[in-house]
Structure 1
Amino acid sequence: MINFENRLKSLKDRRQGSRERSLLENNLSIYDSRDLRTKERYEELAESAPIKYAIGAMAAVDRRSTQISIEEGERVASTLISMLSTVGINTEMEIQGSVALDIHIEGHSDVDMLILKSDIVLVQTPKVDGSGCAASDTRPMEAIIRELRQQSELKLTSRYYQAEVNCSGNKSIAISGGSLKRKVDIVPACWFHSHDYQRSGLKHHKGVDVYHKGEHKLIRNQPFLHMKRVNDKDLVYSGNLKKVVRLMKNLIADMPDYKKRIAKKLSSYDITAIGYDMNDQLTCPSYFSLGLVEKLRAHLTILVDVPALRNAMEVPDGSRKVFDTEEKIEALKILHSEVTDLAVSIYKSLNPYSLDTYKSNSLLQKQVFL
């Protein structure tokens, strides 16, 4: 069985940084016996370690830590936009990813910043209004965004010379260290105005084409539709969608390496899709949050056992199937096993003398007040 005392330590370190890091940030010796980190509400619960872990793993990271991640991303992106303008490249920024959705699980999370050409877009034709479209720059968009990528690498490397600027990624430039409080991923891209966007003018219908450096091609995404659909469903279910997504992410983060290597074949989009697909199973009052562990376990069981349902599942923006490789199915099985172990551990902590291996009602009926 899983040692949830150890898992609680890992969860604490991930959410707030290690005790040693906290001491160094406060200019104290790492040999100091104190722990200056804030006690979170889940830590104060008079409950077993598995229950504390489940509640803590579902909770959002501290708002101030999240805001620092956003501010650092915007600061780097703003600096890059200003530098690019000096060579005649006009751009704008947007935040995307787990931090933007508040489903990240680390206090010192990386932040994804899109850097988009602001003066030229791709348009789905024929245009809805029947008009023509032309651009002053007649190069293929791949060439235009390659230039944006190349100039971004040059500008960031020269500006952040004390930091590590990793330009090897196909879709993003990763910047960390130096004066940065967070790792920032810069993602060069362009807008795509689909027919849906041309009709509605709504931001969530705007597409984004990200440049893939290694293959010199553009890859279409719909990050704002993804975020809107996740936020809308999370609101309907009182925050429970994001709770189960964080729970799955934390469980994967805390797996032994031999399991984690397989489980990480499920991307953040995939994990979010699994939670998104739970629909009415997400109905649960906040004081019955442990019921979400059981409901997630039951949902994963169905996905493992019923290929037709699993194969039909799509990511929230509808752009692709979730389980599009055999590796992801193996990852699903490991995640299912891990959630099952958590549910069983919670059951045993609530019913230490029971002869039953597991009964779901114990989790569904257990109240926990924060």
Structure 2
Amino acid sequence: MIDFEKRLKSLKDRRQGSRERAAFESFDSASATNAILRGIDVRKQEAFEKLNETVGIKYAVGAMAAVDEKSTRVSKSEGDRVADNLIKSLKISGESVTKRLQGSVALDIHIKGHSDVDMLIIVMNPVNIELPKVNPNGYFPSSDPRNLVDIAKDVRIKSEEILPKNFPQAEVDCTGNKSIALEGGSLQRKVDIVPAIWFDSIKYQRSGLESDRGVKIYHKADHRLLLNYPFTHIKLINERDDIYSGNLKCVIRLLKNMIADMPEYKKKVVKHLSSYDLAAIAYHMGTELNVPTYMRLALVEKTRAHLTILDGSKAYRDSLIVPDGSRRIFDTEEKADALKILANEIADLAVAIYKEIKPWNTAYDSSVILNKSVFIL
């Protein structure tokens, strides 16, 4: 049995921070303490909370909704602030780098108001060029004699030295293989700094579109570069989301919130599916995403059916590729185990909502959720 009241509280806390945190961010210490003791909640009421619907429907609709735009702007601003500060110091030390935002915040599929921000710090010159070159004379020879992996390593080492000096009050964690994490002090958000180099694919050399350009992220422990196409991923998710009136991102957020609300023993398994994997799973729902915005509750049932098919068919599951075409979604057995738990959780959600709507019915009827209209003011 799903405790939707508990889940609504968790959802609210994720999206806006706890009631206590909001009070201390809004008032001086004495006034904040007084407000907390009196049970005052200064957080604004969101649209899903105002619905004249059951708690299960409120939860599902809220779990699909984007985080407040103002909070997202703060996340992006903090990412830019840290990256710009680092870039300035790196340039002084002889490194030519630029920045790009990647990850969930870039796509607006994050589920926390105080979400982590992923900032790529990318070497501008030299770049890694996929051969054969489309235009042999399109690139000037590099004046830097170092290997590309050594250049990326040097940017990582210098960043590890610079960030604690430039942000002395923040906690700087350099143990991650792909990123350096900063948190606390003057920072309003946790920021992950990801050193990388450009990878100019043949497709990018022909198009000149950054969405076709790759990056190779430096892996600290292995001292190697890992190829990614974050901008291709962002472009494809945005395009499909636009086609289906924002419904793709609604499903991605729903999946992420469902995982966030799982007990730890389930979450430990399901976290083998990354945010990137979840976006890819939802991406392959295709035309099943085509529902009116006032019938978004149907996405719960559509997602349930999609995950059930995926879980039941290894052949279909193994055929699915991430949007940018770089690998299979289910490339480990652990991800198949994670899918099974996630599919069961979404099925439980659908049944629980159905029972709220039709409490006297015993057999689940998907048409009830598929045809339910929910109007958000």
> Which TM class, normalised by the smaller chain length?
over 0.9
**In structure 1, what is the equivalent of residue 109 of structure 2?**
103
1:355 is displaced (CA, Å) by: 2.8
**In structure 2, what is the equivalent of residue 186 of structure 1?**
193
Of 349, 354, 358, 2:356 maps to 349
1:140 is displaced (CA, Å) by: 1.2
Mapping of 1:266-345 within 5 angstroms?
266-345=273-352
Mapping of 1:51-62 within 5 angstroms?
51-62=57-68
**In structure 2, what is the equivalent of residue 142 of structure 1?**
149
1:130 is displaced (CA, Å) by: 3.2
- What CA distance in whole angstroms lies between the structure 2 residues aligned with 1:163 and 1:245? 31
Of 233, 245, 267, 2:240 maps to 233
CA contact (8 A) 1:315 1:322 kept: yes
CA contact (8 A) 1:23 1:32 kept: no
1:155 counterpart = 2:162: yes
| Aligned-partner SS, 1:118 | strand
**In structure 2, what is the equivalent of residue 17 of structure 1?**
17
1:321 is displaced (CA, Å) by: 0.4
1:77-111 Cα offsets, whole Å, 9 max, x none, are 00000011111111110000000000000000000
Of 176, 187, 205, 2:183 maps to 176
1:210 is displaced (CA, Å) by: 0.3
- What CA distance in whole angstroms lies between the structure 1 residues aligned with 2:37 and 2:219? 46
Structure 1 stretch displaced more, 135-144 or 215-224: 135-144
1:35 alignment partner AA: D
**In structure 2, what is the equivalent of residue 260 of structure 1?**
267
1:194 alignment partner AA: S
Q: Percent identity among equivalent residues? A: 56
2:245 alignment partner AA: S
- What CA distance in whole angstroms lies between the structure 1 residues aligned with 2:37 and 2:106? 36
1:295-330 Cα offsets, whole Å, 9 max, x none, are 000000000111111001111111010111111001
- What CA distance in whole angstroms lies between the structure 2 residues aligned with 1:192 and 1:83? 24
- What CA distance in whole angstroms lies between the structure 2 residues aligned with 1:192 and 1:304? 35
1:64 counterpart = 2:70: yes
| Aligned-partner SS, 2:205 | helix
Gaps of 5+ in 1: none
- What CA distance in whole angstroms lies between the structure 1 residues aligned with 2:345 and 2:46? 24
- What CA distance in whole angstroms lies between the structure 2 residues aligned with 1:361 and 1:268? 29
| Aligned-partner SS, 1:115 | strand
**In structure 1, what is the equivalent of residue 124 of structure 2?**
118
1:243 alignment partner AA: C
1:251 alignment partner AA: M
1:3 counterpart = 2:9: no
1:316 alignment partner AA: P
Gaps of 5+ in 2: none
CA contact (8 A) 1:84 1:151 kept: yes
| Aligned-partner SS, 1:117 | strand
- What CA distance in whole angstroms lies between the structure 2 residues aligned with 1:142 and 1:224? 21
1:142 is displaced (CA, Å) by: 0.6
1:108-146 Cα offsets, whole Å, 9 max, x none, are 000000001122211112211233752111221110100
Of 192, 196, 217, 2:203 maps to 196
- What CA distance in whole angstroms lies between the structure 1 residues aligned with 2:373 and 2:13? 27
| Aligned-partner SS, 2:126 | coil
- What CA distance in whole angstroms lies between the structure 1 residues aligned with 2:244 and 2:307? 19
Mapping of 1:88-99 within 5 angstroms?
88-99=94-105
| Aligned-partner SS, 1:210 | strand
Mapping of 1:25-64 within 5 angstroms?
25-26=25-26, 27=28, 28-29=32-33, 30-64=36-70
**RMSD over aligned Cα atoms:** 0.9
1:158-185 Cα offsets, whole Å, 9 max, x none, are 1111110000000000000000000000
Of 353, 366, 372, 1:366 maps to 372
What's the TM-score, normalizing by structure 2?
0.97
Of 191, 207, 218, 1:211 maps to 218
- What CA distance in whole angstroms lies between the structure 2 residues aligned with 1:294 and 1:127? 48
1:191-230 Cα offsets, whole Å, 9 max, x none, are 0111101111011011000000010000000000000000
1:175 alignment partner AA: L
2:313 alignment partner AA: V
- What CA distance in whole angstroms lies between the structure 2 residues aligned with 1:368 and 1:139? 59
**In structure 1, what is the equivalent of residue 250 of structure 2?**
243
CA contact (8 A) 1:174 1:185 kept: yes
CA contact (8 A) 2:125 2:142 kept: no
CA contact (8 A) 1:192 1:207 kept: yes
1:11-32 Cα offsets, whole Å, 9 max, x none, are 0000000000011112211434
| Aligned-partner SS, 1:119 | strand
| Aligned-partner SS, 2:215 | strand
